[in-house]
A and B are shown apart, each in its own frame.
Chain A
Amino acid sequence: MGKIRTPYLLLFPGFAFLFTFFILPIINLAQTSTQTKIAGGDTGQYEQTLHFRNYIDAFVENREQFGRSFLYAIISTLLALAIAYPLAYAIAFKSGKYKNLLLVLVVAPFFTSFLLRTVAWKQILGEEGFVVPTLRSLGIISQSTTLTSTSFAVVMGMTYNFLPFMTLPLFASIDRIDPRTLEASGDLYANGFTTFRRVTLPLSMPGVVAGTLLTFIPAAGDYVNASILGAPTTKMIGNVIESRFFKIVDYPTAAALSFTLMAAILILVTLYIRKAGTEELV
């Protein structure tokens, strides 16, 4: 009898906590999203009215930022994949006895606060940094072109910040590939490219799926890169939610936007997992 109860006893404290501080808040956010302003009330006072138009209004008003969030998130996920895949491959197959050391080096930048690193990028790419004057004197960019406050800087920063999230799962699944399967493919007269396409890539798919999700989900909700490296024209949905909450004190719209973001991410992720065809996630 005790044995049947054991797992539930072990689960209880943690799940009670998650229920109170994860599930309840989400339910509460759903309620908030349909509230309306009390007529004649103070700022920040709302009443429950089941006003579902909040969603339509919020979306229509901010569709540009929504589009930008998903566009930036998709581009930086693809860029991170393009950078991380060869890196993970090199660490798994070409690093010999330095494998563990290189793996530590992938995570090492994490030890410096990510905000410090993002601010560092801002200064490196900024007017006082060395990159812009060099590129200008080489004639690669015109005198009036800046690198910060552009969508380039935001996407670059996001790619940078989420790169380890991409590299680690990729490494985990590439490292599991038996090198003899690659040799076998070569023995069967496949060239390097065919071996990659028909053997390496399919075997590393779980890593690709996990890595792209771990990059895409935080990237779509991110607003730190956009506010440090971007400009008003590069605002993402995260910036809007933040300012609705803190500056405008418009909780219903912020809540409706949060829900729309979450729903959009869940739909995209579900479609993606179906398409990529893997259940092995965590």
Chain B
Amino acid sequence: MTQKLKDATIPTIPLGARIQRWVGRNLIRLYAIFAFTYLFIPVAYTFAFSFNDAGKSNLIWQAFTFKNWQNPCGAPEVCNALGNSIKIGFLATFFATILGTMIAFAIGRHNFKGRSSANLLIFLPMATPEIVLGASLLSLFLVFKINPGFWPTVIAHIVFCISFVVVTVKARIASLDPRLEQAAMDLYANEFETFRRVTLPLVAPGIAGAALLAFSLSFDDFIITNFNSGTLTTFPKFIYVSAARGIPAQANVIGSAMFFLALTLVIVGQLVNRRKVR
């Protein structure tokens, strides 16, 4: 009886319509899957071709090998370029983080004359196309007869990293609860102690995030580097120069290794954070 009633009240939906309804309901998810596929195709390709036994020109699939992973410095110029990129990245991150954090505290914590112009000066480098930043710095170096190379590149990287550090740290400062500092003052901490024991630890994650951002921006930069590095080779520059005749598979190894390293760091960081929140 009940079975009959069910059959009568719920007409069976034809398969076509059901598929249509399912697609309609999940359209946005399908779309997201499509977008992620688009994002990851070249990453997967780079990873796959890091196992290619192709010698110098890694264009066509030859044979599977672990050789490149066992000896990532097998193409010496790759490791040399990587070393330069890491050195430049660390120096640029160090200086940009210090200078940027100081600016962020000034803008985020103080009301002073000229604050809006200060904000504008921070916004401008981000709104300037990289090629203009790179070309203008190079022409300044040329005027002062400074040869492009290692330090000019570091300076160029600091210029474009500062703004991103300021924006990131400022956001963190803005999200702080001012009552925490007031509480510290109420407990007879002086200004310096409050800063050192309360403010700074609370802002620290923002500073760390800004430093990571600065490093990855510096490490991946090509256009500004190309203008100011002269004969010095960085990792992106090496790839650009050798793109025409094929990139050694060791570059794919380093690119893939960076990918997994960074991914692991981010995921571990999130897990640690989650545990802390609990």
Known: A17-B99, A111-B258. A281 touches B139 (CB 8 A): no
B121 to A: closest C-beta gap in Å: 6
Report the count of interface residues on A (CB-CB < 8 A).
82
**Residues of chain A with a CB closer than 8 A to B258's CB:** 111-113
Cα A23 to Cα B223 with chains together (Å): 19
Contact of A121 with B by CB under 8 A: yes
Residues of A within 8 A of B216 (CB): 110-111
Task: List the B residue with the shortest CB-CB distance to A19.
Answer: B121
Interface residues of B in 117-166 (CB under 8 A from A): 118, 121, 123-133, 135-140, 142-143, 155-156, 158-159, 162, 166
Question: Within the complex, what minimum Cβ distance (angstroms) separates A74 from chain B?
Answer: 15
Partner of B139, one of A4, A128, A164, A255: A255
Does A84 contact B38, Cβ atoms closer than 8 Å? no
Which of B89-141 touch A at CB < 8 Å? 99-100, 102-103, 105-107, 109-110, 112, 115, 118, 121, 123-133, 135-140
Contacts of A254 in B (CB 8 A): 135
State in angstroms the CA–CA spacing of A120 and B42 once bound together. 5
Q: How far is the CB of B210 from chain A (nearest CB, A)?
A: 13
Closest to A105 in B: B36
The residues of A with any CB-CB pair to B shorter than 8 Å are 4, 6-8, 10-11, 13-15, 17-18, 21-26, 28-29, 32, 83-84, 86-87, 89-91, 94, 100-102, 104-124, 126, 128, 160, 163-164, 213, 217-218, 220-224, 228, 238, 241-242, 245, 251, 254-255, 258-259, 261-262, 265-266, 269, 281-282
- Ordered by A's residue number, 28 sampled pairs between the chains whose C-beta atoms are within 8 Å are A17-B99, A21-B155, A22-B124, A22-B125, A25-B136, A26-B132, A28-B140, A28-B143, A87-B31, A90-B28, A90-B32, A94-B28, A94-B29, A108-B259, A110-B216, A111-B258, A111-B261, A112-B258, A115-B222, A117-B46, A119-B243, A120-B42, A121-B42, A258-B132, A261-B129, A262-B129, A281-B123, A282-B167
